[in-house]
Chains A and B, each alone.
Chain A
Amino acid sequence: NAGVTQTPKFRVLKTGQSMTLLCAQDMNHEYMYWYRQDPGMGLRLIHYSVGEGTTAKGEVPDGYNVSRLKKQNFLLGLESAAPSQTSVYFCASSRAGHGEQYFGPGTRLTVT
């Protein structure tokens, strides 16, 4: 039981490049989330999904897109990376109706 996994662990992009972060969970959770973590700001929700094929905007969605084609996967895309998107990105999942979330190990992204 791997829990929540994220790939890649590290990535460096140039401004304007695109990339996709992959999150996978093997706990059969209905809900999945993408957060970014910046110093002194805690975690902020980017997008979330309450089920396969559905997504919704969180607190800071601009510049990101997501897709949930399979229940176990949640993809975060950056179409045109900007230095302001330099951050650590965390994926999380939870059961429907339960507040506690399970987090992946994070992806450290640097945009130069």
Chain B
Amino acid sequence: GNSVTQMEGPVTLSEEAFLTINCTYTATGYPSLFWYVQYPGEGLQLLLKATKADDKGSNKGFEATYRKETTSFHLEKGSVQVSDSAVYFCAGTYGGTSYGKLTFGQGTILTVHP
């Protein structure tokens, strides 16, 4: 079936470090891809999205490029801040946009230390 897989385990970085969180998807059709962020005690917020191959989504210094050849949508940020500490979810919509059902990865906890 359709699936989205994120890198396992929490990520701990120092402020201003470079961030990469890996995400891969199954290539059944051409899903739209998303990164959501969940701050402590809150719901999920859309961080960025890409709807077709080679698209780059970006927001708040975060970027991710839809790579069809590697079925990947890795999240990157050049210099993280303490305020970026949160849980990050990769997600994709399969079955077209008729009802937008999202398939989520398991989430990656990011902790940034001063």
Contacts and interface: CB of A to CB of B under 8 A. Distances in A.
A42 B34 contact: no
Contacts of A106: 42-43
A94 to B, nearest CB: 5
A106 B44 CA distance: 9
A40 B6 CA distance: 11
A98 B97 contact: yes
B106 A99 contact: no
Nearest to A105: B43
Nearest to B1: A59
B107 A42 contact: yes
Interface residues of B, number: 23
A100 B49 CA distance: 8
B100 A4 contact: no
B102 interface: yes
Interface string B50-85: 010000000000000000000000000000000000
Contacts of A104: 43
B101 interface: yes
A4 B46 CA distance: 14
B32 A99 contact: yes
B14 interface: no
Interface of B: 32, 34, 36, 41-46, 49, 51, 89, 93, 97-102, 104-107
10 cross-chain pairs, A with B, having the tightest CB-CB distances, nearest first = A103-B43, A42-B104, A99-B93, A99-B32, A103-B44, A42-B106, A43-B104, A99-B100, A105-B43, A97-B97
Given A58-B101, A98-B100, 12 more contacts: A42-B89, A42-B105, A50-B99, A92-B44, A97-B97, A99-B100, A100-B100, A101-B46, A101-B100, A103-B45, A105-B41, A105-B42
